[in-house]
Each structure stands twice: as structure tokens, then as C-alpha cells.
Amino acid sequence: MLTPFRIFGFAGSLRKGSYNKALLRAAAELLPGYAELEIFDLEGMPLFNADLEQSPPATVREFKAGVRTADVLLIATPEYNYSIPGVLKNAIDWGSRPHGDNCFEDKPVDIMGASIGMIGTARAQYHLRQSCVFLNMHPVNRPEVMIPFAKDKIDKDGRLTDEQTRAKIKEPIDSLTAWAPGG
């Protein structure tokens, strides 16, 4: 049997009812049969401390191993104060260290984001793309998935119900899975 195409996803929100976690769950439902998505929760990851980078905490080791063994990454980010949330930046900082051990090196990544406002995380996503440059990741350029007014599109059970948005999420998933051998 062929090894499944492995996608490793994480959201920049710890909230149980997070709209961005809902995007990841929706993505999992929309994958082609040869792909699988592991969703990693950043809950419990301690704050980055350079004193610990040579022997990082277990959650960080688990996170870096998940990133490393993935074919591609999927990041769903909220926008906090026109940028990415601290929990996401913290995970990126851990993943990039120690020097010479950047787990993100050469990884294709699909970025998406949902906000309750009308901008749909655009400003946060461009900050995230800036970090991708330094980390030598390969973000999917098009389509950009910026979901505004998430409250109207995700129901109280955390299910993305808006059909147009589901179709929008599927497009970059298809671009990502095109990185699969024979995809």
C-alpha cells in the first residue's frame, strides 16, 4: 500500500470554539483519499526559552517531529492586533531552534485564516509569510484563504457550514496535495 500523503496542521488559537480550528477540521473532511491530516493542538506548549532549546520540552519535541515527518503543513491563523497570535509565533520560534535545526526547512505550507471581522486575517497572514521567507518554507501563493465574518459561517458545533467557504478551502488543499508523488 502507498504511504499516505501526510499533512500536519495547527491553528494559532487555543480556544475550544476556535473558528480557525474549525477550518482545520473542515480541511480534514475535504482531503483526497491518499492524504491524511494530523491536527496538532498548541495547548500546553511552554513559552520559548533559549536556555531550553538544546533539550526542549516534550510538546515541542512532538511538534517538531510532526512537522518533520509531514509532506506539507497547514496553518490556520487568527489575526490578533493586526498580526499572528503569540501562541503561533511561539510554536514557530521553538520549531526554528536551535540554530541549524529548523524543522520548517523546505516545507510547503498552506496558510488560511478566519476572523470575525471583514478583513479575514489578511494582515496576520502577510506577517506569517514574512517568517516563512526566513524559515525557507514554501507557502502556497494562490488562492489566499481569508475567511471574514466567520461567526456566520461556522455553526455552534464548530462545523464550517458555508458551502462557498468549504469550496474555497478545498482549492489550496488541492494545490498542496499536488506536491504528492503522482499528485
User: Binding residues for ligand FMN, per CB under 6 A?
Assistant: 13, 15, 18-20, 78-82, 115-117, 119
Closer to ligand FMN by CB, 18 or 96: give it.
18
Shortest distance, position 158 Cβ to ligand FMN, whole Å: 10
Shortest distance, position 84 Cβ to ligand FMN, whole Å: 10
Shortest distance, position 89 Cβ to ligand FMN, whole Å: 13
Question: Any bridge partners for residue 74, and if so which?
Answer: 9, 110
Shortest distance, position 131 Cβ to ligand FMN, whole Å: 17
Closer to ligand FMN by CB, 37 or 76: give it.
76
Q: Judging by beta carbons within 10 Å of its beta carbon (0-12, 13-18, 19+), is residue 152 exposed, middle or buried?
A: exposed
Closer to ligand FMN by CB, 15 or 61: give it.
15
Closer to ligand FMN by CB, 85 or 139: give it.
85
Query: Closest residue to ligand FMN, Cβ-based?
Result: 78
